[in-house]
Structure 1
Amino acid sequence: MTYRLYVQPEQSREDTGPDPAGLAFNWVLLDAGGDVQAHGEADSRETIEQTLAQNALEHVALYALVPGDEVIFCLADIPAKQARFIRQALPFAVEEQLAQEVESMHLALGSKGETGYRVAAVDRRTMAGWTAVFSNWEHVRLVAMYADASLLPVQGREWVICLGAETALVSSGRGEWLRMAAANLEMFMHTLAMPQEDEVKAEVRVALYGTEDVLNQHVALEGVLASDSTLNYSQETLEVSPVELLAHAHYQHLCDPINLCEGEFAVNGGRRSALRPWRPLIAVACTWFVLQVALEIGTGIYQQQQAERLEDQAMAVYQEFFPSDRRTHAGNVRRVVGGQLRQLDATGQSADFLSLIKYAGQQYASLPGKERVSFNSINYTQSRGELVMDLRADNFDKLSALRNGLVQKGLEADIGSVVNEPSGARGRLTVSGG
């Protein structure tokens, strides 16, 4: 069920100083059917919040009714139809009706009538002050802010007056409103019967609202209204507070007020997101997610670079041993090498005389200091597939290097009968297939 809370300050903010805590409010709480559930006069904000808490009410729609004398009614004759162009032309259309610089005013656009768009203008600092007063209340959500006099029930009448002990709220059928001292109302009455320049009226319908005590206090005013034959005067005694009259008029759509919460002072459609309390946690989670994704992407790029580097190294080794192979690449080198190894396992390394001599000659040609290595004799035994070479070198390291090179080619090589002499070393190198 949607509840509506209408709150009207008893006095302006200037009367209480800069501290909004000194404000007192007249208020009424309506349920979804428009029935009054609670009300009060001259109560503090804390009292209203406590009443809502006692009734376990949350997210109540708050309608703030600010003093009408702080909000100026204007008419803007703008031929444009698109909202963007209307907003752009609005300051120029009303600046002649304002007593201060239009740049210092907050303009709220209302409905369009026969004479143009209805506009509410309020000083920006004043609007900011009222926004601060009605923001961050417990259990409520600010929906709209209106000039209080603009909520009078004016349908079917030219003027409506709500009389208070010291002030009077006045509204016309054209949508304009006034808030004035009740003592000045009698002088204002004489202007009500005067028709507009382009109008001829036999009578002007005027409705006067007030509590019995207030009406008795202003008996002279009633006499002024009744004595003017051009005024079709009716009086209605209020059995409720003025703020309840305004609340019922708004609930029953008997008025067309202008919501001041527009532009820079707009509220979130009167709704507070259910995720609002979780926003800090969501922000932390989003930050963590972004960092995690960035870390994963960075790790993936690094690993991809490492894989490409290892592939390049593998191909370099393969090309060293198989320089004439142009069909093998990083994508199939593993399969090609695996096939070659399986073939070698099946057939063994070639162990004929020419193959062994070729391998031995290649290792001898690449041996550092090969000029200090000499062959005394070379013998080949076909039955065993062994090549036996008697070698002499200036040191044993060269013989060992020759043997290691043959082993790395997949052959079996062994040095025997090693004899160390003053001039070097000699030994017998036996080589066979792997």
Structure 2
Amino acid sequence: MLIVLLPECRQEEDLAQLPLYWWQLERDGQIVSQGQDALSTLKARFPTERLRALAPPMAVSLYRLVMPVRRAAAIRAALPFALEDQLSQDLEMLHCVAGPRRDDGLIAAAVIDDSRMQQWQAWIADSGWRLEALLPLPALHAEQPPASGLRVVPSPWPSAVPLALVTAQDQEPVLIESGLLGLWLKRRLADLPEAQKRVELRGYSAESLGLGSEIEVLDFSGDDAAAGGNAVLQAGLTASLAASPALNLLSGPYAASMAAPPWRKLRPLMVAAGVVLAIVLAQVMVEWLTLSRERDRLVAGIESVFNSSLPNSRMTPFPAEQFRQVLSGATGTTQESGGGFLYEVLSAVKASAGAKVVQFRASPTELDIELQLSSFAELETLRANLAGNSGLSESLQGADSTPEGVTARLKISRSAP
């Protein structure tokens, strides 16, 4: 978690590159690193960190109010009316936030100018950050009051002028300029009952603050001021990490979801979908390669069968290519049907006694045929009959003598007119 302390200045032109004090915290509140940088620099340095901001003490006023209602909705509705007598500004220009009910039964409340909220939100959004919470700085010390009276310690928070942190049981914590602390304490102690007129001092003396002898003063100025300041700072930073921090100013019209962005919830689903898609694409690619190899194997097998059946028929196009040529008319055949050509050839074969067709392959203008004949004499007679047909021309592709007679392979084509 990244905690930043917002500036007290209001000049918009100074905000873009204004260095802010920041602390990077572990889950248990331990400080990992700290420094002073602009928000844009922090975004580049900590792109994945969550961000919470602290409103400076001079920008926020804290109150404790008597509110008998218990329901949160009723408290929010009654809050402006409960604050009306304590505020001099128009309520329409202020942002009021109800906090928890303290141990004394009073409701804590925070009030801030709307213009500051709008300025801070726009500035943080322009820097690329998504703010989770905006907390009043003094409210981080509400859980550190003394048993009675007041406790005054030097503020451990960085600021332009020295500040004092004042905590009490009956009021919200206050950060006061050290130069005004003596006057403020006298007025504050005057309002306390006699039993509560006691002050615990760390880092200050009763003489420097002008406190009279009638005030019970517990002086801890001899303690290790550095160690005490570090403990106060650590306690405040730890309080800022609460899951539901009290007096979060990002409420009402400035509310921001504390949950993770919607896309972050879908990230596991998107990763799973990406993995499934990659597996499906890989499977499709493997199947495509397998089918391609199977196609090539089948093509080679078909060619092997035709080559073994008609070894001298390589001039005839491959059957699949032959079929494509016939469909597209790319073979240059005439419009005459191939049925007449086949009929003429088979009629001549039938006229030759003892000739039997073993297999053939035909196109509209060409025929490869394998015949079984009883002798070479019958083969020559058949060839003579075919040659005597003026529309046909034949060539002997091969002839073999077998125990059953003669096997011959002929290529017959239609003669050019």
TM-score (norm 2): 0.52
Q: Give the direction of change, closer, same or farther, for the CA distance of 1:93–1:203 in structure 2 (3 Å limit).
A: closer
Out of 161, 174, 178, the position equivalent to 1:182 is 178
Residue 248 of structure 1 and its aligned partner are, at CA, apart by 3.5
1:133/1:269 Cα in 2 relative to 1: closer, same or farther (>3 Å)?
A: same
How many angstroms does 1:227 deviate by?
Answer: 7.0
Separation in 1 of the partners of 2:54 and 2:68? 31
Correspondence for 2:117: 127
Gaps of 5+ in 1: 209-214, 279-434
CA contact (8 A) 2:97 2:251 kept: yes
- Confirm or deny that 1:106 pairs with 2:92: no
Partner SS state of residue 258, structure 2: coil
Q: Assess, with a 3 A threshold, how the Cα gap between structure 1 residues 182 and 257 changes in structure 2: closer, same or farther.
A: farther
Q: Paired residue for 2:45?
A: 51
The residue number in structure 1 matching 2:334 is none
Deviation at 1:275, TM superposition (A): 5.5
Alpha-carbon distance, 1:25 to partner: 0.9
Structure 2 runs not aligned, ≥5 long:
268-417
Pick from 4, 8, 13 the counterpart of residue 5 of structure 2. 8
| Aligned mates of 1:51, 1:242 — CA distance in 2 | 27
Deviation of 1:87 after TM superposition, in Å, equals 1.9
Distance 1:178 1:120, change over 3 A: same
**Partner-residue secondary structure (3-state), 1:12:** coil
Change (3 A) 1:223 1:93: closer
Aligned mates of 1:252, 1:50 — CA distance in 2: 22
| Distance in 2 separating the partners of 1:233 and 1:192 | 18
Structure 1 residues 277-305: Cα deviation after superposition (integer angstroms, max 9, x where no partner): 99xxxxxxxxxxxxxxxxxxxxxxxxxxx
Which of 207, 217, 220 lines up with 1:231 in the alignment?
A: 217
Residue 159 of structure 1 contacts residue 205 of structure 1 at CA under 8 Å; is this kept in 2?
yes
1:6–1:247 Cα contact (<8 Å) kept: no
C-alpha contact 1:203 1:232 (8 A) present in aligned 2:
no
Take 1:269 and 1:276, find their aligned partners in 2: how far apart are those partners?
Answer: 13
Q: Which amino acid aligns with 2:258?
A: G
User: Relative to 1, partners in 2 of residues 1:118 and 1:93: Cα closer, same or farther, differing over 3 Å?
Assistant: same
- Cα gap change, 1:219 to 1:133, in 2 (>3 Å): farther
Task: Identify the residue that residue 365 of structure 2 maps to in structure 1.
Answer: none
Q: Is the 8 A contact 2:54 2:135 kept in 1?
A: yes
| Counterpart mapping for 1:386-401 below 5 A | none
Rounded Cα–Cα distance in structure 2 between residues aligned with 1:150 and 1:261: 15
Rounded Cα–Cα distance in structure 2 between residues aligned with 1:227 and 1:249: 37
1:258 aligned to which of 241, 247, 260: 247
C-alpha separation between the residues in 1 aligned to 2:3 and 2:207?
A: 29
Count of paired positions: 255
Contact 2:61 2:111 in 1 (8 A): yes
2:136 maps to 1:147? yes
* Amino acid aligned to 2:23: V
Does residue 26 (structure 1) correspond to residue 15 (structure 2)? The answer is no
Superposed counterparts of 1:242-391, under 5 Å: 244-245=233-234, 247-250=236-239, 257-274=246-263
The percent identity for this pair of structures is: 22
- Counterpart CA distance in 1 for 2:211 and 2:86 is 30
